[in-house]
C-alpha cells in the first residue's frame, strides 16, 4: 500500500500554532525560577523591579493618500506603500507601579542601550539598585557601557543595575513583551511614515498609560510553574 494521501480540506496550512518554550534544562528552570521569584516580591522603592525589551519597527509611507474618513465607515487606503526604513522601540516597564519609559531609536546599538539605561538610572536616582529583567541580546550587558562611556562613568552606571536574564526561548517570562504588545495593538497597527511621527504617537500613548498607572498583574508563580511543568522537572532530574 502506498503512502496515505491527505484528503481535501484535511490539511489546513492557513491555521498555525506556535510554541515559545524550548528545550527545558536545569539552566532554563534556574533562570525561570529566579525571575518568577523576583515577580513574587512586594514593591520595594529601594530596589525597583523593571523589565526591558526592544522591538524593531518598519516605517511605511503612503504612495496614494488614504480617502478621508467618514462616520461609520472603515478607513480606506491603497494597498501599495513605500518602505521608509526602520526604527526601534526601547521599552522598560515597572509592573507594580505602572510606570514605563519608552524611546523610539533609529537603531539598537550599544550606544542606544547605554543611553536608555542612563535615562532609567536617572529616573530611579534614589534607588539603591535597579533589578532589571531582560533577554540575552549581545548589547544587553554592562560591557556596552564601556564601549560608549569613560571607564569611571561606565563602572558607576553598571553598579546601578542588578541583571536578571531570561533563559533561551524564555522571552515570555519578560513582562516588557506585554507592554510592547499593548503599544503595538493600540498605536502601531497602521502605517507610520517616519521615526519622528512614531515617537510622537508612541509618546502620547505612553503618557496616557503612565497617567492611568496601568500595572501588570502577573499570575505565573514559582509554585504554579512547578505544577504546570512537573514533567519537565522530573525529566531534568532523571538525566542525572
Model confidence over 33-77: pLDDT tens digits? 999 999 999 999 999 999 999 998 877 554 446 545 567 655 555
What's residue 64's pLDDT?
A: 45
Residue (of 23, 40, 43) closest to 222 by Cα position: 40
The tens digit of pLDDT for each residue in 66-109 reads 545 567 655 555 444 565 677 789 999 999 999 999 999 888 89
- For residues 166-195, one letter each, b for 16 or more C-beta atoms within 10 angstroms of the residue's C-beta and e for the rest, the string is bbeebeebbbbbebbebbeeebbeebbeeb
Provide CATH code, domain 43-62+82-162+170-217. Answer: 3.30.420.10
Domain boundaries, the chain: 43-62+82-162+170-217
* pTM of the complete model: 0.82
> What average pLDDT does this structure show over 141-155?
96
Q: Is 199 exposed, middle or buried (0-12, 13-18, 19+ CB in 10 A)?
A: middle
SS3 59: strand
What's residue 220's pLDDT?
A: 94
What's residue 140's pLDDT?
A: 95
Phi, psi dihedral angles at 82 (to 5 degrees): -120, 140
Would you state the cell numbers that stand for residue 33, as one nine-digit string? Answer: 525560577
For residue 95, how many other CB atoms are within 10 A of its CB? 22
Give the Cα separation of 239 and 217 in Å (integer).
35
Q: Is the pLDDT of residue 203 over 60?
A: yes
Amino acid at each position: 500500500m502506498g503512502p496515505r494521501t491527505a484528503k481535501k480540506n484535511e490539511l489546513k496550512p492557513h491555521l498555525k500554532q506556535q510554541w515559545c518554550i524550548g528545550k527545558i534544562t536545569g539552566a532554563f528552570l534556574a533562570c525561570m525560577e529566579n525571575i518568577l521569584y523576583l515577580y513574587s516580591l512586594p514593591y520595594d522603592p529601594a530596589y525597583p523591579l523593571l523589565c526591558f525589551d526592544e522591538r524593531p519597527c518598519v516605517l511605511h509611507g503612503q504612495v496614494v493618500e488614504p480617502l478621508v474618513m467618514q462616520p461609520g465607515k472603515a478607513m480606506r487606503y491603497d494597498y501599495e506603500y513605500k518602505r521608509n526604513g526602520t526604527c526601534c522601540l526601547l521599552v522598560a516597564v515597572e509592573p507594580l507601579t505602572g510606570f514605563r519609559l519608552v524611546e523610539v531609536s533609529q537603531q539598537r546599538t550599544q550606544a542606544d542601550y547605554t543611553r536608555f539605561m542612563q535615562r532609567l538610572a536617572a529616573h530611579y536616582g534614589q534607588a539603591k539598585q535597579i533589578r532589571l529583567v531582560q533577554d540575552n541580546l549581545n548589547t544587553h550587558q554592562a560591557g556596552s557601557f564601556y564601549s560608549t562611556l569613560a571607564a569611571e562613568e561606565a563602572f558607576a552606571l553598571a553598579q546601578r543595575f542588578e541583571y536578571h536574564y531570561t533563559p533561551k526561548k524564555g522571552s515570555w517570562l519578560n513582562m516588557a513583551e506585554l507592554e510592547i504588545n499593548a503599544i503595538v495593538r493600540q498605536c502601531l497597527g497602521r502605517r507610520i511614515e517616519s521615526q519622528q511621527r512614531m515617537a510622537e504617537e508612541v509618546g502620547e500613548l505612553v503618557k496616557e498609560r503612565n497617567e492611568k498607572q496601568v500595572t501588570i498583574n502577573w499570575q505565573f508563580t514559582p509554585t504554579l510553574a512547578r505544577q504546570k511543568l512537573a514533567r519537565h522537572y522530573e525529566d531534568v532530574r532523571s538525566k542525572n
